[in-house]
Structure 1
Amino acid sequence: MLQWMETGEFYLIDLGSRNGTFVNGRRVSIPVTLQNGDRLTFGQTEVDFFCPLIRPVSSADEPDSKEFTATATLHVRRLISVLVVDIRDFTILTRQLDEKLLSEVIGTWFRQAGDIIREYGSWVDKYIGDAVMAVWTHGANGVDRDEALRICQAINALHRMTNNLYHQYPLPFPIRIGAGVNTGFAMVGNTGSGDRPDYTALGDTVNAAFRLESATKQLGLDIALGERTYQHLADQVGNVHFLERYAVELKGYDSPTPTHACSFAELDRFLKTTLDTLH
């Protein structure tokens, strides 16, 4: 399956094709970003990928100015929430599944994850190995109640979807995920070339979201929220006593970081209670 991203990139995702899918001779098991000129192999069929909107900058395109750079930087400082979701024990899974089944399961997971993220008002920023990064942008007044709830609902839906894969495929064990969410200001914009824009979010807010997801493993929990995400959820929704507070040593940070964490079961109960009250 070819999937066009909001970032302007094209990803190739194999959904378990009988003969496998290959890019430049390498089998696809996780989403692969396509470049012009890539050779795609589907069974006995070979095609070369080309998109007119994706064109490398040639020397003939470059102006004479010494200050020219191939990277266009058009950034806006925005308040965002970043969600990072990672598949647990992915390496073990790759060792226990044959390539066809692995491609089908992982391809299905990434495709459905993208659908869920868009359903709840976000956009997929990146597929990174066995993880997905999503971004919600907020207005000048901060995170409102609906936005805070949509982030929680997206996490809950991703967990349910992942659980269902165990019932859809002959897996050796249920697939598990971990989630980290962080809210703060970041530079959002085009970091690609003028001919190939790459819209993404940059900054410490993004880095911390990845660290928070990693922290769920040392905490033995499923979801970790940054302090600002927690405060917005508490202010806009309330009833957040299910989130335990921790001081976590995050890689790359000098001092312990306030973190609020919980299990998927606790998040599910919170959403049921909150949504019933609102309705």
Structure 2
Amino acid sequence: MQHFSPALPPMDADPTFDLPEKKILETLPPQQLVAIILRQQQIINQLRHALLQIPGVPEVLHPGAPAPPEPHLALVSEDTVCYFPLTGGNCWTIGRSEDNSIVLSDRWMSRNHAMIQRLGQGEFYLIDLGSRNGTFVNGRRVSIPVALHNGDRITFGQTELDFFNEPFAPLFADNAALSLLQSEGSSTALLHVRRLLTVLVVDIRDFTKLTRQLEEELLSELIGTWFHRAGEIIRQYGSWVDKYIGDAVMAVWIHESEEIGCQEICHTLSALEDLRLMTGELHQQYPLPWPLRIGSGLNTGYAMVGNTGSGDRPDYTALGDTVNAAFRLESATKTIAADLAMGATTYHYLVQSCPTPVPFQLQVLNLKGYEAPVPAYVGTFDDLHSFLDQALKSRDTLH
């Protein structure tokens, strides 16, 4: 937990520098004054180092001091700058309540006001959690996840913080170089390697129509809850949220070899099933005009994977046609009245590795941006539920 309370008193109000002591200091020779100053600076550095070893404690410096190099939020007051580092995790909640990662004492803020999430490509997204007075980035209210950029001004209630995150420099290499980078713990380069992966794209249906019927505060709370729970589900199944795009999320599963087993693909499908169930239950928590639904696209293939992490905490993002096709497949489900569409490669891995009959049907789709029609396998969430249920029973029988 990182906590910020009122600003420190000005230096000239420090009781250790009252008039008698100042008179004594004025009588000392310059060499002794220098020794006292150096000793005091040494004590300050030791205290500062000890403070930073405490998890969740922000760094408080005077305005003229250099900012830390890692991603952080900066709260500037008249006499101090309070730095909240965004490191050592991938999610930070912000609000008045003591159970937040960053606690701000602002009565205009909600108890659980907002959340910052770090995604695979090293980008940071800000999500409002349905706060009463809203969250703003550069003066614009946040209703869906907003990507933060270096120097952005964020407003929570009456508190303003600046976001800082220096960009990485891109670098291309092979798997051996990736291993070398991770072993050396480098965090200054973005390394791309070619990997086999499965991409899942999930989109909230009829979101535009929903925005016209819900009040802004309710919409922010609903979307914030959905994205937060979606991230938890995706992490539970061994992946991470790689992108937020409007009302959609993208997740990636990296495969260690070309022999993809049934369990690996079923991990992705199980995540999708849980996302569907979670989405359908939200109307029990919020007064919605209709139950929320999602659509999805899945695709398996090779893509360039970038490592933006370091040491024991690598983070990845994927680029290339495999990723683009997953988005196009999801978009196509809206026009063919299907809940999900998967690429032919994903389907073939399922058929080859799973003893359970795969219920999805072949359709040839005209995907945006593709000159030739693309074969895909489509189905409903009832088909998905039935397949996963039978696959689980088959696995239990084999064991």
Q: What TM-score, normalized to structure 1?
A: 0.88
- Equivalent in the alignment of 1:200: 317
Superposed CA offset, 1:153-191 (max 9, x none): 011001001001111100111111110000001111158
For the pair 1:7 / 2:121, whether they are aligned, the reply is yes
Q: 2:147 aligns with which of 30, 33, 40?
A: 33
SS of 2:333 mapped into structure 1: helix
Corresponding residue number in structure 2 for 1:66: none
Matches within 5 A, 1:121-136: 121-136=238-253
Equivalent residue, structure 1, for 2:385: 268
Tell me whether 1:244 sits opposite 2:355 in the alignment.
no
Aligned partner of 1:92 in structure 2 is 209
Farther off after superposition, 90-99 or 136-145:
136-145
Give the Å deviation of 1:198. Answer: 8.4
Q: CA deviation at 1:143?
A: 1.5
Shift of 1:249: 0.9
Which structure 2 residue ranges, 5 or more long, are not aligned? 1-114, 173-190
Amino acid at match of 1:39: R
1:26-85 deviations in whole A, cap 9, x for unaligned? 1111111222322111122222223xxx2258xxxxxxxxxxxx5444321100101111
> Higher relative contact order at CA 8 Å, sep ≥6: structure 1 or structure 2?
1
Q: Which of residues 55, 74, 79 in structure 1 aligns to 2:166?
A: 55
1:4 counterpart letter in structure 2: R
Larger radius of gyration: 2
2:271 to 154, 175, 189: 154
Where does residue 229 of structure 1 map in the other structure? 346
Determine the structure 1 residue equivalent to 2:100. Answer: none
Q: Quote the offset at 1:239 in angstroms.
A: 2.8
Question: Structure 1 unaligned runs (5+)?
Answer: 58-69
Q: Is the 8 A contact 1:230 1:260 kept in 2?
A: yes
Identity of aligned residues (%): 62
TM-score (norm 2): 0.62
**Post-superposition shift, 1:256?**
1.5
Q: What is the correspondence of 1:158-177 to structure 2 with a 5 Å cutoff?
A: 158-177=275-294
- What one-letter code is carried by the residue in structure 2 that aligns with 1:55? E
4+ runs deviating over 3 angstroms: 70-73
What is the distance in 2 between the residues matched to 1:202 and 1:238?
32
Corresponding residue SS for 2:359: coil
Query: What residue is the counterpart of 2:182 in the other structure?
Result: none
RMSD after superposition: 1.9
Offset at residue 278 of structure 1 (A): 1.2
Task: Please say if residues 189 and 199 of structure 1, whose CA atoms lie closer than 8 Å, have aligned partners that are also in contact.
Answer: yes
Residue equivalent to 1:218: 335
Verify the 8 A CA contact 2:171 2:192 in the aligned structure 1: no
Counterpart-to-counterpart distance in 2, 1:137 and 1:86: 21
1:223-253 alpha-carbon deviations (Å, 9 max, x no partner): 1010000001111113334111111111121
CA distance in 1, matches of 2:316, 2:171: 11
Distance 2:240 2:341 in 1: 20
Once residues 88 and 238 of structure 1 are traced to their aligned partners in structure 2, the CA distance between those partners, rounded to angstroms, is 32
In structure 2, distance between residues paired with 1:4 and 1:178: 24
SS at match of 1:224: strand
1:10-32 deviations in whole A, cap 9, x for unaligned?
21111101111111111111111
The answer to whether the Cα contact below 8 Å between 1:148 and 1:236 also exists between their aligned partners in 2 is no
Aligned residue pairs total: 260
Partner of 2:236: 119
Partner Cα distance (2:317, 2:122) in 1: 10
